[in-house]
Amino acid sequence: MGRPRRIDRRAVTRARKAVGQATSLEELRAAQAVLLPAVMNTTLEQTAALIGVGRATVPRLQASFRQSGKRSAGGVKSRNWGGRRNALMTVAEEAEFLAPWLEQAKGGGMLVVSPLRAALAEKLGRKVKASVMYRLLARHGWRKVAPDTRHPESDPQAQAEWKKNSPRHWRLS
């Protein structure tokens, strides 16, 4: 059995006024999400079908309507579902973690991700996927620099000569 419905009479009164004064579809839906269950005794599913949203959106609309009354009598707060909900470290902690590796990278040295990943796993005390490491590096402006396609000290003439004069089949001696 679900929780008993809690109806705030002041919110219902505000919703009645808001339906007539709504300037956007979002404001209207938020007011209706409060009004329909209170006046028509509809369930969340029925309310969602009537106002044209998903079932999970109805409680969000009701909460946003309640919050709008606390802030101002005006509009409904826009959604803000973004953010790093599963962050392992703060951005500042990540920068602190990368600081020792920064000197090696600035010096033009080759920076391999696997030791970085192992150090991060040790710091966090749990396994870390490679994608986590790559996203961390991207978040701090690091990028992958691919090596050149040829060695800087290679000799194209010597390579061409070797191709011409090398045996067609290798023999075991």
Residue spans of the domains in the chain: they are: 9-71, 91-139
Please give the pLDDT value at position 78. Answer: 56
- What's the pLDDT tens digit per position in 68-95? 876 544 444 555 677 788 888 999 999 9
Task: Give the dihedral sign, CA 122/128/134/139.
Answer: negative
Please name the amino acid found at residue 158.
A
- What's the pLDDT tens digit per position in 143-158? 877 777 888 888 999 9
CB 30 within 8 A of CB 76: yes
Distances (CA, A) of 47 to 13, 19, 56: 18, 15, 11
CB 113 within 8 A of CB 134: yes
Mean pLDDT, rounded, of the chain: 85
Residues 51 and 29: their CA atoms lie apart, in Å, by: 6
Residues 9 and 38: their CA atoms lie apart, in Å, by: 9
pLDDT lower than 50: segments of the chain? 72-76
Residue 31, classed as helix, strand or coil, is helix
Q: How far apart are the first and last CA of the chain?
A: 84
Please give the pLDDT value at position 5. Answer: 75
Its pTM stands at 0.44
